[in-house]
């Protein structure tokens, strides 16, 4: 990786969001070459172009240059502006694809962000809006980003391939983030879930719950799964159903799992009973991995620890996902920060899989664009 005049250079289409988000926060320009250069259909995909347009909407003065084939991207970040924004996401990826990055950027805007995103709310690739609402928002609260204006609301559901969903996300701004010490995840005290079905029989949702309960009841009695059956305009353009489960621990840690039916016309039909059973098993696997942050939000917690005050932050995580490992490398490139990583083998105190204790000293990132009242 060559560094010239503080600009970072990368090759390949992987981890595009990570690079652009960290570039925006650190103010360092980034150049990405050879984006699917050898592919039959080279260059940026629609959903990546849509993500770049979204970054352009929430910043002021960003310079984006893309060559004719779309295989080279130069991004010089502007100031995070915020305000009220509307964006139509690409239906090739879920709204979660865009929302994950917005969660990283939202606290550092000039004006509090209120954004309406339209597209696919639940798909099989990205974290659904339900899971981000249940797991990512509590993480923001741990860092002192809370208040009535922190909200993620599902107005309409949209399943792939048609989409048609709509969510509203609003987030307050903070000048500095407080350091965290999350080293004890606690024990699971309850499981909550949301089963949703759109443009199919509401009976599907009930069948999901019975099979999920048949597994989870063996471990804990406090299980409640809400039904969300949207009709008419609010049900989007394609049929589908799914289940998201969230386990809450005594210390306020949230671990999540989710499954969605196959999109219309793609793959074999999924039985609701199988979907419920498999989703319950995925939740049990996530609980086995454990940690104070679930595997979807590891990078969000590590980013906020990096950007915190110049104080020590600690967090206990389950096994690091490949995405998180690459994120740590990017943090080193953009912010010159290294984490102390200690492995904690499972024993008397820690149940489940081997854990990792991540420690770092924040860089004292301050939101300079925040308007002074």
- Residue whose C-alpha is closest to residue 260's, from 246, 285, 241: 241
What token pair was written down for 64?
């984006």
What token pair was written down for 32?
């990405």
pLDDT of residue 371: 58
User: How many domains is the chain partitioned into structurally?
Assistant: 2
Looking at 61, 80, 99, the residue that finishes a domain is 80
In a domain, 159, yes or no: no
pTM of structure:
0.95
Q: What tens digit of pLDDT does each residue of 327-360 get?
A: 999 999 999 999 999 998 877 666 788 899 999 9
We report the CATH number of the domain holding residue 12 as 3.30.110
In a domain, 333, yes or no: no
DSSP 38-58: TSSS-S--HHHHHHHHHHHHH
In a domain, 56, yes or no: yes
In a domain, 50, yes or no: yes
Q: How far apart are CA 280 and CA 300, in angstroms?
A: 25
Q: What tens digit of pLDDT does each residue of 141-193 get?
A: 999 999 889 999 999 999 999 999 999 999 999 999 999 999 999 999 999 99
Task: Report phi then psi at 318, rounded to 5.
Answer: -75, -170
**What number of other Cβ atoms are within 10 A of residue 341's Cβ?**
13
Q: Domain range holding 195? A: 188-289
- Residue whose C-alpha is closest to residue 285's, from 315, 258, 260: 258
Looking at 80, 114, 141, the residue that finishes a domain is 80
Looking at 289, 312, 347, the residue that finishes a domain is 289
Q: How far apart are CA 200 and CA 222, in angstroms?
A: 28
Q: What tens digit of pLDDT does each residue of 76-111 get?
A: 999 999 999 999 999 999 999 999 999 999 999 999
The answer to whether 256 touches 290, Cβ cutoff 8 Å, is no
What token pair was written down for 331?
């943090």
Query: Could you tell me which residues come within 8 angstroms of residue 144 by beta carbon, excluding any fewer than 6 positions away?
Result: 174, 177, 178
In a domain, 349, yes or no: no
Distance of CA 113 to the CA centre of its chain: 17
Q: What is the helix (H) or strand (E) element at residue 209, kind and residue range?
A: helix 203-216
């Amino acid at each position: 990786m060559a560094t010239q005049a503080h600009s970072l250079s990368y090759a390949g289409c992987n981890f595009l969001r990570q690079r652009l988000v960290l570039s925006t926060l650190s103010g360092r320009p980034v150049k990405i070459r050879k984006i699917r250069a050898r592919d039959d259909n080279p260059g940026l995909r629609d959903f990546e172009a849509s993500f770049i347009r979204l970054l352009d909407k929430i910043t002021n003065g960003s310079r984006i240059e893309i060559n004719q084939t779309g295989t080279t991207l130069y991004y010089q970040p502007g100031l995070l502006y915020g305000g009220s924004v509307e964006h139509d996401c690409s239906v090739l990826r879920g709204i979660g694809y865009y929302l994950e990055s917005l969660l990283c950027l939202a606290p550092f805007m000039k004006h509090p962000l209120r954004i309406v995103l339209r597209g696919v709310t639940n798909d099989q690739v990205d974290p659904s809006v339900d899971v981000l609402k249940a797991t990512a928002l509590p993480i923001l609260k741990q860092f002192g980003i809370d208040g009535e204006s922190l909200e993620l609301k599902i107005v309409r559901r949209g399943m792939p391939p048609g989409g048609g969903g709509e969510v509203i996300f609003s987030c307050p701004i903070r000048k500095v983030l407080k350091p965290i010490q999350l080293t004890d995840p606690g024990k699971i005290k309850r499981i909550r879930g949301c089963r949703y079905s759109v443009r199919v029989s509401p009976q599907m949702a009930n069948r999901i719950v019975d099979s999920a309960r048949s597994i989870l009841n063996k471990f804990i009695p406090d299980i409640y799964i809400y039904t969300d059956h949207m009709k008419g305009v609010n049900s989007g353009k394609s049929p589908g159903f799914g289940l998201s489960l969230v386990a809450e621990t005594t210390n306020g840690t949230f671990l999540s799992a989710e499954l969605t039916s196959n999109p219309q016309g793609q793959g074999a039909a999924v039985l609701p009973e199988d979907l419920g059973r498999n989703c319950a098993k995925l939740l049990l696997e996530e609980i086995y991995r454990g940690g104070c942050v679930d595997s979807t939000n590891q990078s969000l917690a590590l980013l906020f620890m990096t950007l915190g005050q110049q104080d020590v932050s600690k967090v206990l995580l389950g096994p690091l996902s490949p995405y998180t490992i690459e994120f740590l490398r990017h943090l080193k490139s953009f912010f010159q920060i290294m984490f102390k990583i200690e492995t904690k083998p499972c024993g008397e105190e820690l149940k489940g899989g081997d854990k990792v204790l991540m420690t770092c000293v924040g860089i004292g990132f301050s939101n300079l664009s925040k308007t002074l009242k």
